[in-house]
Amino acid sequence: MPIDPDEYGGNGFDFERFPFEPYPVGHVGPPDGKTIEEAFLDFHKRNPHVYDELVRLARRAQRRGVSRFGIGAMFEVLRWRYALRTQGDEFKLNNNHRSYYSRLIQHNEPDLEGFFQTRKLHA
C-alpha cells in the first residue's frame, strides 16, 4: 500500500533521504564455521557479565511478581545499558545466543527454572 504524503505533514515526506542498513541476504551464522552453540560458548566465556546481568534482571522481575518473562526483552534492556561492553562478536549481543542463555540460566539457577519459555533448538 503506497504511503500518502498528506499523512506525514503534507510536505512530501521522503523516506529515502534517511540512511538505512540493508538486511543481509541468506543465513547469517557464526564466524569461522563454528556452530551457534560453539559461538555462544566462546562468547559466554569472554563475556561472563552478560550472564550475570541477565540473572540479575530475571531475579528483579521475579521479586516484583513476574513468574515468566522473555529472554528477548532482557537482551534489549542489556543492549540499551551495555552496548559497548562485550567482546568477540560483530553483533554486541547476538540474538543467536538468547536461547542458550535462557537454558543455561534455568539449568544453573534453580530459583529461575521455568522462568523462560523454551522451544526446540533448530541449529
Q: Is residue 62 part of a domain?
A: yes
Phi then psi dihedrals of residue 42, to 5 deg: -65, -45
Structural domain boundaries enclosing 51 = 35-112
Q: Is residue 102 part of a domain?
A: yes
Query: What would the mean pLDDT of 93-104 be, rounded to a whole number?
Result: 90
* pLDDT computed for residue 119 by the predictor: 80
Q: Is residue 20 part of a domain?
A: no
Q: Is residue 94 part of a domain?
A: yes
* pLDDT computed for residue 64 by the predictor: 96
Is pLDDT of 79 > 60?
yes
Structure-model confidence comparison of residues 4 and 118, the more confident one: 118
Amino acid occupying residue 68: R
- Burial (Cβ within 10 Å: 0-12, 13-18, ≥19) of residue 115: buried
Q: What is the reported pTM? A: 0.72
Is pLDDT of 1 > 60?
no
Closest residue by Cα to residue 82 from 66, 118, 31, 74 = 74
- Burial (Cβ within 10 Å: 0-12, 13-18, ≥19) of residue 113: exposed
Query: What would the mean pLDDT of 9-14 be, rounded to a whole number?
Result: 59
Q: Is residue 56 part of a domain?
A: yes
Q: Is residue 49 part of a domain?
A: yes
Summarised one tens digit per residue, pLDDT across range 39-77 is 999 989 988 989 999 999 999 999 999 999 999 999 999
Q: Which cell goes with 33?
A: 564455521
Q: Is residue 99 part of a domain?
A: yes
Summarised one tens digit per residue, pLDDT across range 14-44 is 666 666 666 655 556 676 788 889 999 998 9
Number of domains into which the chain is organized: 1
> To which residue does cell 521522503 refer?
14
* pLDDT computed for residue 65 by the predictor: 96
- Burial (Cβ within 10 Å: 0-12, 13-18, ≥19) of residue 4: exposed
Residue 22 is classified by DSSP as: P
